[in-house]
Structures are given as C-alpha cells and as structure tokens.
Amino acid sequence: MEKAILNYDDLLEMLDDFLREPKPFWENFYEDRTKEIPFFKINGPDENLVEYFNHGFAPKRVLELGCGPGRNAIYMAKKGCKVDALDIAENAIAWGKERADEEEVAINFHCKSLFDFEYEQHSYDFIYDCGLFHHLAPHRRLTYIEIIKRALKKDGHFAIVCFNTDGALATSDWDVYKERSLNRGIGYTEKRLKEIFEQDFTIKEFRRMKKISPPDNMLGEDFLWTSLMQIKK
C-alpha cells in the first residue's frame, strides 16, 4: 500500500526516512566500551550539573534524555532524586544498569525514544538532556519541546548540554535534508540555540561548559554549550 501524508505524524515519519535510522547507529556506538570518547572514560557527572546541585538545586523527580552509560543519572540518584533515564540503545542501558548496580543506586532505566515514552503530565521537577538534542533532526524539535513542556511541573527546570560550533559543523536545517545527514551532530551558535528555546522558556543560565582535566571525575568540554531554563509563565 502506498504511504500517504494524512496527518502530522505521517509527515514526521516521512522526514525521518531522509536520515539514518538512529537505533542501529547508537547500538553500534555503545558496543565497544573502550573507545577514546570523553564520556566513556569518565564515570562522573557533567560539571554544570554538579554546579546546579552545589548551589542548592534539589529536584525530587528527574527525567534524563539520552542517558548513555548513566553518569548523570547515577549522580542525581545519589543526590536523592527519583530518576527515569531514557536511551534508545540497549547497549547503553545495559552499561548504565551495570554502573548503577556497582554504585548501589536505584534508577528507572527505559530503552525507549523520548517520542515513545509514556509519562505522567507535569510530573517532573527537572528534565536533563546531555547530548540528545544536537543529534535530533530539525523536524522533531517542536514535538521535543512540547513533550518537555507537558512533562515538567509548572515550576520545573530544563537543562541542556549540546554541541557549539567547535564541537560540530553548524549545519543548517535545510542542509540536513539536502545532504540527508546530521553529520556527526549539529553545532549550534548561541543565537541559533536561544532562538529555538526562548519563545517557550526563560533562559536562566547560558554558557560554555568549563574544561575539566583529569584527575577530576567530572565531564567538562568547552566544545559544548550548557543552559538551564524554566517554562515561561
């Protein structure tokens, strides 16, 4: 049967077909744990996340998007948070569960896409995304933002860590589909990233991630932006 675009979801699925299927890519990405990748070698949290908590941030219920091997989820669970951690790759979830067991913390890991995850509306104090957004296709952004707005409590916070233009090419939205590729992720300028979020969110903090060197067990890379936001009232 020939596919037709009869609704918004059909349109999104059609545009998905322009790009690689994400699950096989990320399963392969997490298969070899010995890769020379910063967040493979470090088991500690992001430096900006630590800064939030050190300044009195104390969410009770947290949703982490693209949790990978569980670094940040484990940190937040140790801080007393009830954490739901999502990743599309079974290999990432398995690694995260192993680390959580080693650290003796309870985390609700879910091997699901954000777009398939069932959640209770306005139930999370904090939603954290380190590394998912810059791999998200432009046509999925509006749904991404609407999910965050529906999942957060009215006074909840949202934080993001994503590539700046030192971390990846500043591929335009149009070029993503012309080239049929996100390349290795989209590098965002400050202006472009703020334009995406500032209509719906109050940006409370926006900066480059601080470069952290060993032996500190935190992730800090200055090719990343960090931002802390709240839904506009």
The pLDDT value given to residue 52 = 98
**How many domains are contained in the chain?**
1
Q: What is the DSSP string of 170-227?
A: ---HHHHHHHT--TT-PPBPHHHHHHHHTTTEEEEEEEEPPP--TTS-SB--TTEEEE
DSSP 2: -
The pLDDT of 150-167, averaged and rounded, is 97
In a domain, 39, yes or no: no
In a domain, 215, yes or no: yes
CATH of the domain at 177: 3.40.50.150
In a domain, 71, yes or no: yes
pLDDT of 215 strictly over 80: no
In a domain, 177, yes or no: yes
The pLDDT of 219-231, averaged and rounded, is 97
* Farthest CA pair distance, the chain: 58
Instruction: Record the tokens describing residue 180, joined without a space.
Output: 């049929």
pLDDT of 224 strictly over 90: yes
The pLDDT of 70-85, averaged and rounded, is 98
pTM value?
0.95
pLDDT more than 90, % of the chain: 91
In a domain, 1, yes or no: no
Lowest mean pLDDT among 102-111, 131-140, 148-157, 208-217: 208-217
Lowest mean pLDDT among 19-28, 162-171, 185-194: 19-28
In a domain, 222, yes or no: yes
If pLDDT is split at 50, 70 and 90, which confidence band does 41 have? confident
The pLDDT value given to residue 1 = 58
Report the Cα 215 to chain-centroid distance in Å.
25
3-class DSSP state of 125:
strand
Q: Which domain holds residue 115?
A: 8-31+44-231
If pLDDT is split at 50, 70 and 90, which confidence band does 38 have? confident
In a domain, 3, yes or no: no
CA distance 149 to 174: 26
The pLDDT value given to residue 3 = 81
In a domain, 223, yes or no: yes
The pLDDT value given to residue 2 = 73
